[in-house]
Amino acid sequence: MDHLVFAAPDLDEGVRHIETHLGIATSPGGRHAGYGTKNRLVGLGPKSYMEVVGVDLDQPEPNRERWFGLDTLNAPRLVTWCVAVSDLNDLIVRAKLVGLDLGESKKGSRRREGGALLEWQMTDPWAERAGGIIPFFIDWGDTDHP
């Protein structure tokens, strides 16, 4: 597992929910430019974390609905999970061979608060994956892991 995605219509509300109910603090994440979202993170291990993601009202409205159902989400909740792979396109092809459509790969990025850019490839974050039971997949390539 690479990370869990905990989404909230308002990021501050999501952070309060995590801190109140789990008793753990989040650390700075960054903004997903063009997606209309921002996040904070909770480390779970050397290569795994929980992403707390919410709407970023300081960004222009994105060209399509925000990922993870944020535009229709009424309350903070765990929405999905993510698995890291080293060859995303190969995984997409192999999944199709067994009847699982993961969608096309999409590029993603965000700037850390310090300005460093993280970039990745992922399976379609808008695709319906059995209500979050089936993960989406990410290939970090050469970028640092959050």
CATH number at 28 reads 3.10.180.10
Q: How many domains does the chain have?
A: 1
Q: Has residue 120 been placed in a domain? A: yes
Predicted TM-score (pTM) of the model is 0.90
SS (HEC) of 10-75: EHHHHHHHHHHHHCCCCEEEEEECCCCEEEEEEEEECCEEEEEEEECCCCCCCCCCCHHHCCCCCC
What is the per-residue pLDDT across 82-118, written as a single tens digit (0 to 9) for each? 999 999 999 999 999 999 888 889 888 888 878 888 8
Q: Kindly state the tokens that stand for 92.
A: 């997409």
Q: Has residue 19 been placed in a domain? A: yes
Residue numbers of the domain that contains 59: 3-139
What is the per-residue pLDDT across 26-65, written as a single tens digit (0 to 9) for each? 999 988 888 899 999 999 999 999 999 999 999 899 988 8
- Residue 90 phi/psi, 5-degree rounding, is -65, -40
